[in-house]
Every structure is written in C-alpha cells, then in structure tokens.
C-alpha cells in the first residue's frame, strides 16, 4: 500500500510565505527608527545599546536614514564609551501646532 503524500492548499502556502516575508522585512533601519521614536536622540553607541545592535550596524544605517530625510544630526555631540565625542542624532518629526507656535512666537 502506498501512502498518498499530503500537499497543503495553495492558499496555505501563500499565507505561510506572507508571514515569512513580513518577518524578514523588519530591518535595522526600522529598529533604529523605532528606538529614536522612544529615545528621541542619541549618539551611535547609545542608539546601538538601546536597540541591541552593534555600533557598526547602527553607524551604517544612520547615514542612510539621514539621506532618506528621516533623521538628522543635531549639531551636538556626546561622549562615547571610548572617551571620544560622537554626533547626536534625532528623528525628524513634524512639529505639533504647539511646537510650531513656540518656534515662531519670537
């Protein structure tokens, strides 16, 4: 007697592939952006520690995110673990009405 092999329906296979795709689409850039939404600002080491990524992973993504217009260099620096100074980065968010009024009140 031969056993008939079971083949799941196409819809099940498509659903499985969709779940795998969605899981793989979370990138280091996404992780950094989410961290900056919470943390608001930080140098590359602070962001890396917060995200549980390596400093190199963060450094590479910061310039990409800056070019994409999602984050910016604040013009400030903060001390790194090695004692050097690292640029502080922040997320670009549309200011609220209150923030706009405060900025343009002068």
Q: Is the pLDDT of residue 36 over 80?
A: yes
pLDDT at 81: 87
State the average pLDDT for the chain. Answer: 80
What DSSP letter does each residue of 57-92 carry, written as one string?
A: HHHHHHHHHHHTTSEEEEEEEEE-TTS-EEEEEEE-
What mean pLDDT comes out for the span 17-41?
80
Is the CATH number of domain 25-103 1.10.10.10? yes
Domains of the chain: which residue ranges?
Answer: 25-103
Q: Which residue has the higher pLDDT, 69 or 26?
A: 69
């Amino acid at each position: 007697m031969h056993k008939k092999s079971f083949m799941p329906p196409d819809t099940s296979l498509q659903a499985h592939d969709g779940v795998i795709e969605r899981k793989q689409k979370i990138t280091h850039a996404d992780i950094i952006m989410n961290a900056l939404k919470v943390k608001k600002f930080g140098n590359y080491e602070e962001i890396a520690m917060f995200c549980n990524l390596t400093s190199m992973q963060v450094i590479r993504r910061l310039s990409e995110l800056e070019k994409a217009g999602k984050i910016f260099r604040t013009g400030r620096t903060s001390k790194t673990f090695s004692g050097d100074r690292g640029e502080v980065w922040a997320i670009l968010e549309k200011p609220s009405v209150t923030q706009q009024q405060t900025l343009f009140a002068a």
